[in-house]
């Protein structure tokens, strides 16, 4: 009991305290969030990848917290991100993404959303007072919303909070990289052609 009270105290403090804020075990997460509810705190839950953290992420999390007192953020694991976003994602591994999020003052608790749990397991575990979703994701259709309404006090969908997105940035970096590669190939092409002609002439 003493250990749990220290955990809650550190969760509510201003420090990053990743060792207390990061709760990967869902049973422990349920115990902590239930304890916070009993103390009168309104729990907000949101989920996402949070790859290449940017201004839009920070604004989104700030807006999410405005609906309650403690914000729980489910971070997609590397394995789940690869399944959902493709083999080249995430750009930033989960350990670093968790560490960066722990430094954002609006984040109360962090956990991992694993592929084996499915997209709804975390929602069913926390049973938040408010579930925050983004209009930029396809996770929540009408069918899913109907199911989650039974375990959430309220569901709020927020629009993107910035003109940029991680996917757009990755695409830009990929295009930029391709442009550089094309320049290098074109630069080296005359030499390749010359060598081929020399070889042909020697025959």
SS (H, E, C) the chain: CHHHHHHHHHHCCCCCCHHHHECCCHHHHHHHHHHHHHCCCCEEEEEECCCCCCHHHHHHHHHHHCCCCEEEEEEECHHHHHHHHCCCCCCCCHHHHHHHHHCCCCCCEEEEECHHHCCCHHHHHHCCCEEEEECCCCCCCHHHHHHHCCCCCEEEEECCCCCCCHHHHHHHHHHHHHHHHHHHHHHHHHHHHHHHHHHHHHC
User: What integer pLDDT is reported at residue 1 of this predicted model?
Assistant: 45
Q: Is residue 193 part of a domain?
A: no
Number of domains in the chain: 1
Q: Is residue 24 part of a domain?
A: yes
Q: Is residue 201 part of a domain?
A: no
Cα dihedral: 10, 12, 18, 22 (round 10): 110
User: What integer pLDDT is reported at residue 198 of this predicted model?
Assistant: 59
Q: Is residue 188 part of a domain?
A: no
Q: Is residue 36 part of a domain?
A: yes
CATH of residue 114's domain is: 3.40.50.620
Do residues 59 and 97 make contact, with C-beta atoms less than 8 angstroms apart? no
Q: Is residue 144 part of a domain?
A: yes
Which residues of the chain are under the pLDDT cut of 70?
Answer: 1-6, 138-140, 161-203
- CA gap 178, 110 in Å, rounded: 36
pTM of this structure: 0.78
Range of the domain at 30: 2-164
User: What integer pLDDT is reported at residue 144 of this predicted model?
Assistant: 77
User: What integer pLDDT is reported at residue 53 of this predicted model?
Assistant: 86
pLDDT in tens, 17-48: 898 899 999 999 999 999 999 999 999 999 99
User: What integer pLDDT is reported at residue 7 of this predicted model?
Assistant: 73
Q: Is residue 78 part of a domain?
A: yes
Q: Is residue 184 part of a domain?
A: no
């Amino acid at each position: 009991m003493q250990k749990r009270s220290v955990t809650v105290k550190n969760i509510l403090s201003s420090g990053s305290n990743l060792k207390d804020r990061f709760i990967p075990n869902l049973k422990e997460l349920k115990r902590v969030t239930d304890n916070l509810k009993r103390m009168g705190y309104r729990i907000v839950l949101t989920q996402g990848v949070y790859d290449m953290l940017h201004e839009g992420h920070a604004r989104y999390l700030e807006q999410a917290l405005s609906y309650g007192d403690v914000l729980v953020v489910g971070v997609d694991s590397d394995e789940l991100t690869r399944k959902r976003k493709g083999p080249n994602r995430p750009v930033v591994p989960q350990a670093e993404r968790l560490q960066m999020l722990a430094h954002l003052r609006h984040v109360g608790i962090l956990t991992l959303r694993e592929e084996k749990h499915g997209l709804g397991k975390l929602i069913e575990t926390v049973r938040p007072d408010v579930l925050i979703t983004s209009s930029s994701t396809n996770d929540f259709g009408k069918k899913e919303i109907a199911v989650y309404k039974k375990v959430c006090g309220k569901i709020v969908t927020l629009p993107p909070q910035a003109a940029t997105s991680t996917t757009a940035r990755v695409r830009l970096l990929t295009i930029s990289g391709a442009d550089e590669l094309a320049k290098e190939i074109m630069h080296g092409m005359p030499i390749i052609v010359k060598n081929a002609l020399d070889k042909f002439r020697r025959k």
